[in-house]
Amino acid sequence: MLQFSRLAMFSIIGVIIAATIVVIPNLFSKDTVAGWPNWLPKQQIVLGLDLQGGVYLLYEIDREDYINTELQDLATDVRAVLAESPRVNYEAFSSRAAITQTQTVQFRLTDATQLEIARGRLEELRNPLGTSILGAAGVNQFDLSIGADGLVRFTLSPAGLEQRINEIAQQSIEVIDRRINALGTVEPSIQRQGADRILVEAPGLEDPQRLQDLIGQTAEMTFHLVDRATPTVALGTIAPEGKIVVPSAESPGLAYLLDSNALIRGDQITRAQATLDQTTGAWVVAFGLNTSGARTFGEVTSANINYPFAIVLDDAVISAPTIQGAILGGSGQITGNFTAETANNLAILLRAGALPAKLTVIEQRTVSASLGEDSIRAGALATLVALVWIAVFMIVCYGLLGSFAVIALIAQNVLMLGILSLLGATLTLPGIAGIVLTMAMAVDANVLIYERMREEAHAGRSVVVALDQGFRRALATIVDAHLTALIAAFALFWLGSGPIRGFAVTLGIGILSTLFTAYLVTRLIVAIWYRARRPKAVPL
């Protein structure tokens, strides 16, 4: 066990040297490292929210709002298909308030001879979602029941709802990521928690409210024609069929009467940029449309010159300009009482796309940069104190071999930090706790090895045999102990979130590096020492 080939010896030493080189960039500022030659390592450990300061936001998908929106849209589609030729007659159609309260779209067919015609049209509105997560038969978004008496009921399918919530969570993560990256935030962390929650961490961000405004806003933009006879109405007015009442974002109490069908939707916008209007000097948002949107926009503006149309953002009219002439180029401007920041925020939202559902903040924390610096100092001090006391303990208890364990411990820390740097992992305060914990585990392996050596020496074994048997017989115990700890680390990473995952990452990496250094590095040092000194007794 004390024999090493030249290849094995140089490999072990090479790993430690490589880890040291990878760790070096962490000792310098990012600006300094950026100026280094490209052939030098530049990857640094990313400091987490609790060490760098920043914003922590936990969002939850608003299921009630999503269900209501889907059912209201379904009600519009139901009326449209029943109005097709030949028209299917019905009565007692659920009002918007009733749909919200009962989460059901319900009405009664008045002509029994049209039952099968209605069934054929309505079946198409159940919205098949494909195969389920478990690979079973496909599920539908809506459940449909049609009674013999003509009573029709649409409800959301429970299986379909869960599948859509899963899709919404994934889509929301993608949209949030695009929005934060456009904002310029460094190293954001966006993770899913459970079925309907999303955790967002933005280390180093100094404007938490702006981040929350960007993420929380659904940013669903639509263009609607304004009613020509009655463009504005009082807030709370009941809209006639085919119309919707949308409040003004700028004038509280005022609302617009709009066509319910949207002319243009946000997903047809291909570009958006905040700019200054050359005529008025005011901030506006210039946008461009895709081919279908440009064609529709050109047709609508050509047919409605001198009449207003409304730009609706998240159920509020932000602008209602009058169409001065046909807009055929597929581009235009959104005007309003914008500042440079609000115009840029709106442009970011439009470029990133709309959230598929409303998100609600259920937890928010802000960590100041000064508090993060205090955490770094406290963590560094705790690590240093732990290292010193562990070194003192090992040297007092095991003498020269204890000092070998301390050297291996330092190598273990370098190796662990090197792996964290190479992976670009995020180091959190619980992560520092994981580092300190693995330091104790590292010397624990050496304790097992040295105690086994002491037993062999007391049994009368020669020095080389005692040293060899100490490593050989302690190996199985060390591997078993570290394997169980590694399983726990995997469980914490898989089931935990945020700081818990940070702790699990450093713990897992620390366990693997401990196995390498406590066994191979320590054994190499002992082998080199034995060959050089040829001791007559085990120094324990």
Q: Name the residue ranges covered by the structural domains of the chain.
A: 6-53+369-533, 63-162, 217-365
For residues 136-141, average pLDDT: 70
pLDDT above 70: residue 135: no
φ, ψ (nearest 5 deg) of residue 311 = -105, 115
Instruction: Mention every residue, 6+ apart, whose C-beta is less than 8 A from residue 297.
Output: 223, 263, 264, 289, 327, 330, 332
* C-beta of residue 283 within 8 angstroms of C-beta of residue 274: yes
pLDDT at 82: 92
pLDDT at 20: 93
The answer to whether the bond into 539 is cis (omega within 30° of 0) is no
φ, ψ (nearest 5 deg) of residue 393 = -60, -45
For residues 382-405, average pLDDT: 90
* C-beta of residue 77 within 8 angstroms of C-beta of residue 71: no
pLDDT above 50: residue 131: no
Q: How far apart are CA 108 and CA 167, in angstroms?
A: 33
* C-beta of residue 185 within 8 angstroms of C-beta of residue 205: yes
Q: Which residues pair with 244 in a beta bridge?
A: 258
* C-beta of residue 430 within 8 angstroms of C-beta of residue 499: yes
CATH of 217-365, one of 3.40.50.300, 3.30.2310.20, 3.40.109.10, 3.30.1360.200: 3.30.1360.200
- Residue 17 banded pLDDT, cuts 50, 70, 90: very high
**E strands, 331-464, in order:** 331-338, 359-367, 426-427
User: Three-state DSSP class for 3?
Assistant: coil
Q: How far apart are CA 497 and CA 200, in angstroms?
A: 11
Taking CA atoms, 299 is separated from 264, 302, 409, in Å, by 12, 5, 74
pLDDT at 187: 64
Of 316-330, 334-348, 386-400, 499-513, highest mean pLDDT:
386-400
Q: How far apart are CA 519 and CA 513, in angstroms?
A: 10
pLDDT at 255: 92
Taking CA atoms, 269 is separated from 99, 173, 272, in Å, by 31, 20, 7
Q: How far apart are CA 367 and CA 376, in angstroms?
A: 13
Q: How far apart are CA 498 and CA 189, in angstroms?
A: 9
User: Three-state DSSP class for 338?
Assistant: strand
User: 0.95 cut: is pTM over it?
Assistant: no
Least confident of 9-13, 300-304, 354-358: 354-358
For residues 244-272, average pLDDT: 85
Q: Can you give the C-alpha Rg of the chain in angstroms? A: 33
pLDDT above 50: residue 106: yes
User: Three-state DSSP class for 490?
Assistant: helix
Residue 105's CB: how many other CB atoms inside 10 A? 26
**E strands, 128-250, in order:** 142-146, 151-156, 189-193, 197-203, 221-225, 232-234, 243-247
Q: Which residues pair with 156 in a beta bridge?
A: 142
Question: What number of CA atoms fall less than 13 Å from residue 521's CA on the CB side?
Answer: 28
* More confident: 290 or 132: 290
pLDDT above 70: residue 498: no
pLDDT above 60: residue 240: yes
For residues 338-366, average pLDDT: 80
CA 176 to chain CA centroid, nearest Å: 8
User: Three-state DSSP class for 531?
Assistant: helix
* C-beta of residue 366 within 8 angstroms of C-beta of residue 55: yes
For 6-53+369-533, CATH number?
A: 1.20.1640.10
Alpha helices in 353-368 (DSSP H): none
**H-helix or E-strand spanning residue 57:** strand 54-61
Q: How far apart are CA 307 and CA 303, in angstroms?
A: 9
* C-beta of residue 25 within 8 angstroms of C-beta of residue 37: no
CA pseudo-torsion sign 424, 428, 430, 435: positive
- In this predicted model, what pLDDT tens digit does every residue of 483-495 receive, in sequence order? 998 999 889 888 7
pLDDT above 90: residue 185: no
CA pseudo-torsion sign 2, 6, 12, 13: positive
Mean pLDDT rounded to a whole number for the chain: 85
Q: pLDDT > 70: what percent of the chain?
A: 94
